[in-house]
Chains A and B, each alone.
Chain A
Amino acid sequence: MLHYYEPQKDFGTPAAQSAEQVSLTVDGVTLEVPAGTSVMRAAALVGVKVPKLCATDALQPFGSCRVCLVEIAGRRGFPASCTTPVEEGMQVQTQTPALAKLRRGVMELYISDHPLDCLTCATNGDCELQDTAGEVGLRNVRYGFDGANHLAASKDSSNPYFTFDPAKCIVCSRCVRACEETQGTFALTIEGRGFDSVVSAGGVDFIDSECVSCGACVDACPTATLTENSIIEQGIPEHTVTTTCAYCGVGCGFRAELRGNTVVRMTPWKDGKANEGHACVKGRFAFGYATHPDRVTTPMIRDSTDQPWRQVDWDEAVSFAAARFRQIQEQHGRNSIGAISSSRCTNEEVYLVQKLVRAGFGNNNIDTCARVCHSPTGYGLKTTLGESAGTQTFASVEQADVIIVMGANPTEAHPVFGSRLKKRLRQGARLIVIDPRKIELVDAPHIQADYHLPVNPGANVAVLNAMAHVIVSENLHDEAFIAQRCEASAFEDWRAFISDVSNSPEALAAASGVDAAELRAAARLYATAATGAIYYGLGVTEHSQGSTAVMAIANLAMLTGNLGREGVGVNPLRGQNNVQGACDMGSFPHELPGYRHLSDVTTRADFEQAWQVELDPEPGLRIPNMFDAAVDGDFRGLYIQGEDVAQSDPNTQHVEAALAALDCLVVQDIFLNETAKFAHVFLPGASFLEKDGTFTNAERRISRVRKVMPPMSGKADWEATQAFAQALGCSMDYAHPSQIMDEIASLTPTFSGVSYALLDEQGSVQWPCNDSAATGTSTMHVDSFVRGEGYFALTEYVPTEERANRRFPLLLTTGRILSQYNVGAQTRRTDNSTWHAEDVLEIHAHDAQERGLKDGDWAGIQSRVGSTVLRTRISDRVKPGVVYTTFHHPVSGANVVTTDNSDWATNCPEYKVTAVQASKVTEPSAWQSRQREFDHRQRQFLQQATVND
């Protein structure tokens, strides 16, 4: 799927949605288009390009440039084709002598105020102004450059990724509109009038403005005014490969645009169904980590972690690891080894790791990082609805009337979905935010949440139960839906439970911290919506009652009939790019691909036959169980694919003790991450640019990842796992990831129709994809639930054991920030650090004052398991009693303080609630000092390895 570079096709104005068809002729060609289509778009559909400057199909038409004029039979004058809708029987001429003259006149004016340095311009050959001048046949400019012009205006290169060169601006407003319509940030305006109008980022440089660096304006700009620095430095691309973002669970489609093997630009793919041409600062700009000098590209081994690394070839590395693993098993039993797979790797790679464990290690000690994020989603949705996945497409939000956002912060963590959501809210959809923190959506440009329920960390279930109580007691539930679709006896039990006065908002107000009247009003709003949709994130799952909260969310949706159609649903927002896929691929210790429990004899038999081994029917260890067992000496060999548990998992000191206790730790990663510092074998990983495969996003959408450059280590991750498996004597012999997908499809009913051929043809496919849904399933549970009848689970509110007390009076909750991703291994190695150079402690002014903390002070944060030091930021986003931080930088040690409290059903850690005390300090914590020292020594070991070779 390599293509010579050409800009993505632009039809000038967005597609019209009408079912009614209108017939017209354009330059003598007759065609039919949906009513509401612009004349410009109709022309483009039959291959006629009307010259244009201010129009682009990502934005609503604006009608300012006047180069797109056409003639229409029976109409006077020359209407602008971008703002003129088609009419039945319309006859359009796009090329006449009169039009040519008019267009040339307009272009002449534009060019007279534009530098004529095309030959040395960064976008020479990729500029719409240049193309349009060519199209209209502009040959000379009569006005000269002596009059007033903007040619001397100075550049703004404050943003690390793009440059604003106002001398080249034609004031078409595409950037301003992109920032408003597509991104929803409203950072740009046109200041001044007439000749004096200029684009302004609110009167300051881009970097100091509201701009979130999504790049939509850069994409929209038809000139070189807004240009990516990578293009300025390296020139325009010569070929493109379509692939998928490797950052968050939105799963945006991208065109990697290259010169040779060098990516010069990532452009969001207009046909990508998850993003429809939009992107965020991470996916669009933060790809430089892939070629960062910190990449380790040679396999390394060592006998113990206090030794320098020894660089070896692949064969020696995997033989060393295999010999050690086998030796451990001989001495300590079959169950003494295991693996952790990565939600950042492809479906095929994750599938191979679980296959290696089940077929090669002969046990089920396989877990994945979803354990620490969305395992409660898997449990909760499987229990209530029957399938461990979100119910909708992202586009479904465009039909939602009332939207609940709970424990999620889409504008920071799922930015492209956040933009879609904001667009719907600007159109008038109502919004309920349930979050301890005042997230951006509560009060954003042109958006105001109807209700913000500032729940106390740990009390989600109380809020959800109270909402359900209100709906049932006020008879706002959808009787017919429940009668037709849900298990009657379970509903009756649940109704009795939820109706109890102990579940009323008034009774729960003290625990939840939410005003009862506000909560009642919010519940009524959701219950009475024609379409009500719930979006939730890790603020729901990462609690001791994460699974209960997910079930309570599903209950609310069933209760109000908000499932099985467009605009409704239960929508988990997944953190990492392939969390959904990793879960789908059987990465949990109790189930095989497709969420089928190991105890299912038929399923097990299918896999046993395909793999020619006998499978252990009993569940294996979860990640926290692995760590506990390691500390105890029962678990001694661990293979970790692309995860940094030493940084991302809670109670760092316990994790470090577990890792240090292992006889053999094999880490496969692109960098020597925190975990790799405890490793005996390092297998160099490949970035998403270096391999083929698929990712599955939060909408169950399977998208292709395509290799755009060869793997720097010589092997893609699936090849590394395969080599390790072979060294262990486990038969694996795939020539290409498509063969792995074929095996997955042959063994997994929800994937049986999936193949690379289908993905190439469709662009992407949402599972289930099989005989009854040949091109996939956009909305789940349409006529009935996957489970059969929907199940109302009882959702008892059990307060967490982690409570604020005299010693630890504050509740710490953790989260994410737009520019950084997860543990930051990738984004910290890009210019994204411009925006977030360190993690800080957000604290309310009242709490800060009590502790004598001022903005910028070092604050020591102590929990019952550990302490760390962060800089203070006084913030009104958190309420008194609650403090907040992110965990993007290893030295912050946010997880040194988080405890190993976890979700009752899945052991997903309770990252979102830790009782802490904060105080003013003058130096880093003891752990931080130790960490610095350890880090320094391990880096030396790496350097010595490089020197020795």
Chain B
Amino acid sequence: MSAQQTERLVRMANQIALNFGEERDLTLAARRTGEHLQKFWTPAMREQLADYAAAGGEGLSPAVRELYSRS
């Protein structure tokens, strides 16, 4: 998958975390974001985001980072 595709995934994941209230409760937002991705994203998309997070995850929002730091 391309860099452009990764960038889209990052944007979408950040948007999800923000809407789950990451500014209010980071841990909860991280958990909900994880559940959401599990429920609605394809395994390939999840994998790509996880790989990106593992490789430094530049631009990922705090809750998304938190999600991958836990797992």
With contact pairs A628-B8, A798-B18, A904-B16 given, residues A335 and B44 touching in the complex (Cβ less than 8 Å): yes
Instruction: Count A-B contacts at CB 8 Å.
Output: 57
**Could you say which residues of chain B place their CB within 8 Å of the CB of A589?**
42
Interface size on B, residues (CB 8 A): 21
Partner-B contacts on A (CB < 8 A): 335, 497, 544-545, 548, 589-590, 597, 599, 618-622, 625, 628-629, 631-632, 634, 794, 796, 798, 902, 904-907
**Could you say which residues of chain B place their CB within 8 Å of the CB of A905?**
16, 19, 36, 40
With contact pairs A796-B21, A905-B16 given, residues A620 and B42 touching in the complex (Cβ less than 8 Å): yes
Q: Which of B1, B23, B24 contacts A632 (CB 8 A)?
A: B1
- 6 contacting pairs across A/B (C-beta < 8 A): A544-B15, A618-B42, A619-B40, A619-B41, A619-B42, A632-B2
Q: List which B1-16 residues lie within 8 A (CB) of chain A.
A: 1-2, 4-5, 8, 12, 15-16
**Quick check: B42 and A335 within 8 Å, CB to CB?**
yes
**Quick check: B1 and A634 within 8 Å, CB to CB?**
yes
Top 3 nearest A-B pairs by Cβ distance? A904-B15, A904-B19, A632-B2
For residue A864, give the distance in angstroms from its CB to the closest CB of chain B: 14
**Quick check: A798 and B19 within 8 Å, CB to CB?**
yes
For residue B38, give the distance in angstroms from its CB to the closest CB of chain A: 8
For residue A714, give the distance in angstroms from its CB to the closest CB of chain B: 37
For residue A392, give the distance in angstroms from its CB to the closest CB of chain B: 28
Q: Bound state CA distance, A148 and B24, in angstroms?
A: 82
Q: Bound state CA distance, A634 and B1, in angstroms?
A: 8
**Quick check: B5 and A590 within 8 Å, CB to CB?**
no
Q: Bound state CA distance, A620 and B40, in angstroms?
A: 8
Of all chain B residues, which has the CB nearest A800? B15
Q: Bound state CA distance, A293 and B59, in angstroms?
A: 54
Quick one: CB contact mask for B12-38 with A, threshold 8 Å, 1 for yes? 100110110101100000000000100
Main SS at interface, chain A: loop
**Could you say which residues of chain B place their CB within 8 Å of the CB of A622?**
40
**Could you say which residues of chain A place their CB within 8 Å of the CB of B19?**
545, 548, 796, 798, 904-905
For residue A538, give the distance in angstroms from its CB to the closest CB of chain B: 19
**Quick check: B39 and A904 within 8 Å, CB to CB?**
no
**Could you say which residues of chain A place their CB within 8 Å of the CB of B43?**
618
Q: Bound state CA distance, A589 and B23, in angstroms?
A: 30
Q: Bound state CA distance, A246 and B10, in angstroms?
A: 39
**Could you say which residues of chain B place their CB within 8 Å of the CB of A621?**
42
Of all chain B residues, which has the CB nearest A599? B39
**Could you say which residues of chain A place their CB within 8 Å of the CB of B21?**
794, 796
Known pairs A619-B39, A631-B4. 18 more at Cβ < 8 A?
A544-B15, A545-B19, A548-B19, A590-B39, A599-B39, A618-B42, A618-B43, A619-B40, A621-B42, A625-B45, A628-B5, A629-B5, A631-B2, A632-B4, A634-B44, A902-B12, A905-B16, A905-B36
Q: List which B26-70 residues lie within 8 A (CB) of chain A.
A: 36, 39-45
Q: Bound state CA distance, A625 and B40, in angstroms?
A: 11
For residue A787, give the distance in angstroms from its CB to the closest CB of chain B: 16
For residue B34, give the distance in angstroms from its CB to the closest CB of chain A: 14
**Could you say which residues of chain A place their CB within 8 Å of the CB of B18?**
796, 798, 904
With contact pairs A590-B40, A618-B42 given, residues A632 and B5 touching in the complex (Cβ less than 8 Å): yes
**Could you say which residues of chain B place their CB within 8 Å of the CB of A597?**
39
Q: Bound state CA distance, A335 and B1, in angstroms?
A: 14
Q: Bound state CA distance, A590 and B43, in angstroms?
A: 12
Q: Bound state CA distance, A643 and B18, in angstroms?
A: 33
Of all chain A residues, which has the CB nearest B14? A904
Q: Bound state CA distance, A904 and B40, in angstroms?
A: 11
